[in-house]
Structure 1
Amino acid sequence: MDVPPTPRILAPHLQTFQHKLVRMVGKVVQLRGETAVIDAGGNVDVILNRDCHLALNHAVEIIGKVDGNLHIKVQAATDFGTDVDFDAYKAVVEATHRHKEIFYDD
């Protein structure tokens, strides 16, 4: 099975990845029914699917498509708990964008 690349991004990268599948780690700061807000270098609205079971103040990895309003429509979400080093994750994201030819196609 050929899986499309999912570049790791943060909130400031949303505009660049409009209408593309991405991967993002952030802290759940708000839950509102079928949507949530995660802090991933800035607040990002995510549109949840039925399989999402997020918890406030937990880290979550989101895989989804960035829509025209810069929201992410979730395809998969993984709870990473409360012990996540967001500075390390930010460094990984910055490295992947500095050397994007290794990690994903433009």
Structure 2
Amino acid sequence: MSEPQTPRILAPHLQSFQHRLVRMLGKVVQLRGDRAIIDAGGNVDVILNRDSHLAVGHAVEIIGKVDGNLHVKVVAATDFGTEIDFNAANAVVEATHRHKEIFYED
């Protein structure tokens, strides 16, 4: 059995990926209890799980499911620290969408 696809997306792509599992890289802007806001080409509301250990100002990769309100419910979160080049990372995401037939199925 193959692994589920987790296309890389940014905030502007959320609408197109409702109810799908996705992967996002963003900077943690705010933490509030079981929720966070990350900047991933725009602010994204993230619903954390109990294993999510985020720090404001750190880069985080989220694997999660986009809900009907365009929030992302976390399945897994990885802290990438503070040394991420978001311009390069966002360019990779945009390239995957220009050539989506290589990276994921619609």
Shorter-normalised TM range = over 0.9
Letter in 2 for 1:45: D
My pick for the range that moved more, 1-10 or 82-91, is 1-10
- Give the aligned partner of residue 12 of structure 1: 12
- Tell me, in whole angstroms, the C-alpha distance in 1 between the residues paired with 2:14 and 2:90: 15
> TM-score scaled to structure 2, two decimals?
0.99
- Residue 55 (structure 1) shift: 0.3
Question: Can you list the C-alpha shifts for 1:51-74, whole angstroms capped at 9, x where unaligned?
Answer: 000000000000000000000000
Identity of counterpart residues, as a percentage? 81
- Give the aligned partner of residue 39 of structure 2: 39
For these two proteins, the number of residue pairs brought into alignment is: 106
Note if 1:54 corresponds to 2:54.
yes
Q: Give unpaired runs (5+ residues) of structure 1.
A: none
Q: Give unpaired runs (5+ residues) of structure 2.
A: none
- Residue 3 (structure 1) shift: 1.1
- Tell me, in whole angstroms, the C-alpha distance in 1 between the residues paired with 2:35 and 2:4: 25
